[in-house]
Amino acid sequence: MGHIVDLHCDTIMECMLKGQGLAGRPGHINLEKLAKAGSMAQCFALFTISNDMQDECNYHGEVYDIYNKMYETFAREMELNKDVIRQARSAEEILKNNAEGKLS
């Protein structure tokens, strides 16, 4: 598989805000582009939208609720795309996923 490890992207936020999935979505990152580029792991940032950013993002809510919605989006995408990508919580899991032909 690949050798690229990217430690930050805001794709999960975009998926949540735009109702998109990780597969086939427009933008800089989707599963097909990660595989084609030889990616091994992508770190999806789950960050909260500050009150002043909520108007800009056209998304309003309590900070903890926004985080939970992003995590639900992430967990759903991991489940829907488990044939392609698997969550990793350690370097060992990244290497195992890679050996099994999966993105992390």
Helix, strand, coil fractions of the chain, as percent rounded to 5: 45, 15, 40
Residue with tokens 């595989």: 35
Instruction: Return the pLDDT at 1.
Output: 66
pLDDT of residue 75: 98
The pLDDT of residue 47? 82
What are 53's two structure tokens?
């950013």
Per-residue pLDDT at 36: 94
24 Cβ partners below 8 Å, 6+ apart? 30, 31, 32
pLDDT along the chain (104 residues), means of 10: 88 91 94 95 88 78 86 97 97 96 96
Q: Which SS3 state, helix, strand or coil, does residue 103 take?
A: strand
